[in-house]
Structure 1
Amino acid sequence: MTTISETYIENRERIQPNDTNNYDTAHGGNVAKWMDEVGAMSAMRHAGETCVTARINSLDFERPIPRGDVCVIESYAYATGRTSIRVRLRAFREDPRTGDRERTTESYFVFVAVDDEMRPTPVPDLRVGGDRCRELRDEALAGENNG
């Protein structure tokens, strides 16, 4: 059984010209794609199975990510159902020179574990393995309930 903190993944994408919109900032579709990919990795790390996106709760773009900055995606699983895994996702803009960060986007995704025939398959319970796990879970549940 996996702990919440074992599903924690942080990934980075440098915002290149091909990633931008008319305002020279990260295209929202790219940010959503990166969040979906990293979220699936957290879900699969827990399930030990392929996971597909079943639901994306509100996807709030709070501020842009300028070309040249880094988009940092933070993801972790915080709850499970019979075949589903709920994952909290946040994106940040990060200055590559200083490391200064600012949250830009937040959402909660639901992934479903599937077998080789693409049929939903059961997932194990997610274990809360200590203070860090409790903190991550509580933050996700509070944010999910306020969103």
Structure 2
Amino acid sequence: MDLLETYIENREMVQPNHANSLQTAHGGNVLKWMDEIGAMSAMRFAGESCVTAHINGVDFERPIQVGDIALIEAYVYAAGETSVRVRLQTSREDIRTGEAERTTESYFVYVAIDGDRTPTPVPELTVEDERGERLREAALAGENGRR
């Protein structure tokens, strides 16, 4: 499956029930949203259920205020025998203008499982165009701390 076929994005409006005492999105809610979208990207790629196996650090760079839109983007950038590596980025988006500012970034590893909840093989990841190659290279560089 091609990298671009694994790209998924979702938006959440940050409501008061998502906020901490500073009226910004609670980090746990942001992580939950990222994990859900990351798992969807991994499942699209694997064609199987996927479970979270590892989170390679999370960088909270700036807050998302109550009333703001959290834009979560995910895509598979590498795969092992049964594992899938997904880059996740969250941005604060102005829904009226479409302007976005990155707030959070991480790299998650999911494992594909079959009906018996046993790890199962995943397909090979392909990259068929320049945009996909740029995304893959950016993810590999970021994962290794070379943003």
TM-score interval (norm. to shorter): over 0.9
Give the distance between the partners of 2:127 and 2:97, measured in 1 at CA: 34
For 1:90-105, what aligned pairs fall within 5 Å after superposition?
90-105=89-104
Give the distance between the partners of 2:75 and 2:96, measured in 1 at CA: 26
Give the distance between the partners of 1:97 and 1:8, measured in 2 at CA: 23
Give the distance between the partners of 1:129 and 1:34, measured in 2 at CA: 28
Any unmatched runs of 5+ in structure 2? none
Report what 1:82 is aligned to.
Answer: 81
Question: 1:39 offset after TM fit, Å?
Answer: 0.2
Question: 1:66 offset after TM fit, Å?
Answer: 0.2
For 1:47-86, what aligned pairs fall within 5 Å after superposition?
47-86=46-85
Q: Secondary structure at the match of 1:57?
A: strand
- Using the size of structure 2 for normalisation, the TM-score is 0.97
Paired amino acid for 1:55: H
**What RMSD over aligned residues (CA atoms) do the two structures have, in Å?**
0.9
Report what 2:127 is aligned to.
Answer: 128
Q: Secondary structure at the match of 1:93?
A: strand
Q: Secondary structure at the match of 1:133?
A: helix
Give the distance between the partners of 1:124 and 1:73, measured in 2 at CA: 24
Question: 1:32 offset after TM fit, Å?
Answer: 0.1
Report what 1:26 is aligned to.
Answer: 25
Report what 2:136 is aligned to.
Answer: 137
Q: Deviation digits for residues 23-54 of structure 1, max 9, x if unmatched? A: 00001000000000000000000000000000
Paired amino acid for 1:90: Q
Percent identical pairs in the alignment equals 64
Question: 1:99 offset after TM fit, Å?
Answer: 2.2
Q: Deviation digits for residues 88-146 of structure 1, max 9, x if unmatched? A: 00000112233221100000000000001110000011011111111110010011111
Give the distance between the partners of 1:132 and 1:99, measured in 2 at CA: 20
Any unmatched runs of 5+ in structure 1? none
